[in-house]
Amino acid sequence: MKRLLARTWLKLNGWSVRGTIDHPKFVAIAAPHTSNWDLVFMLATATELGIKVRWLGKHTLFQGPFGWLMRAVGGIPVERSASHNLVEQAAQHLRESESMILAVPPSGTRKAVDHWKSGFYWIATTAEVPIALGYLDYGKREAGIGGFVIPSGDVSKDMDLIREFYRDIRGRFPENQNTIRLREEKQDAAA
């Protein structure tokens, strides 16, 4: 029933879904993230692909009368103002699970910022799982998984592959798309 609803929602909005799931557990990049609608389209896409996705969201989404709903659809609240060893906790969940898909919006916000947060990369590296190139392309009205990157430990090299994939993908509000660069890359370039 859920799949039929997801398929209907996507079809009514003119969207198609692409990609295959080649791994039982991975970290999925959720990008670009420029609109509140991204969550709805991501969940519909995951359902159409036949996967249950867990996702990280700011803790305030889980407060109030709809907090239970956010958890029911796979949300994991994250307090962004303090370090809670999130990378290790998420990696531990992935290591201990036979199958788990964790979607992470690396921009951390719907607004334009000068770099992505690197948590998605370090969670995947620490858990020794691939990174899925999850996407919502509002320009083409297409969503899905565009392939996988196995973290090599060479952050710049891996990010070059990721940047190349997302180069022509457009968010709902392209002016809010983020520079696809990790803070670690800026430090590497300066050294």
Q: How many CA atoms lie within 13 A of 143 on its CB side?
A: 31
**Considering the entire predicted model, what is its pTM?**
0.87
Residue 121 bridge partners (DSSP): none
The answer to whether the CB of 129 falls within 8 A of the CB of 25 is yes
* Under 8 Å between Cβ of 45 and 143: yes
* Count of residues making up the chain: 191
Closest CA to 169 of 132, 133, 140, 131: 140
Q: What is the pLDDT of residues 63-118, one digit of tens each?
A: 988 889 989 988 888 776 666 688 888 898 899 999 999 999 887 677 777 778 89
- Cα 17 to chain centroid, rounded: 16
At residue 186, the pLDDT reads: 59
